[in-house]
Amino acid sequence: MRVIYQSKNGKTRKLAEAIAEAAGHIECNDLEHGYDVSKIAEGELIFLGSGVYGGKSGDKVITFVRELKKSKKKVRLALFGSSNGKGKAVKALRKITTKNGFNPIGEDYNCPGKFLFFHPSRPNQADINAARNYAERMTKN
Mean pLDDT throughout 59-67? 95
Q: Decide if pLDDT at 110 tops 60.
A: yes
Q: What is the pLDDT of residue 33?
A: 87
Mean pLDDT throughout 101-126? 81
Q: Which residue type does 130 have?
A: A
Which ranges in 1-139 belong to alpha helices (H)?
11-22, 59-71, 88-99, 125-139
Q: pLDDT tier at 118 (50, 70, 90 boundaries)?
A: low
Degrees, nearest 5: CA angle 55-97-62: 60
Q: Per the confidence metrics, is the pTM higher than 0.85?
A: yes
CATH topology of domain 2-139: Rossmann fold (3.40.50)
Question: For the ranges 5-14, 54-63, 84-93, 125-134, which has the lowest average pLDDT?
Answer: 84-93
- Contact partners, residue 140, CB within 8 Å, separation at least 6: none
Q: Which residue has the higher pLDDT, 8 or 118?
A: 8
| CB-based contact 112:82 (threshold 8 Å) | yes
Q: Which residue has the higher pLDDT, 123 or 16?
A: 16
Q: What is the pLDDT of residue 52?
A: 79
Where are the domains positioned within the chain?
2-139
Q: pLDDT tier at 56 (50, 70, 90 boundaries)?
A: confident
Mean pLDDT throughout 50-62? 86
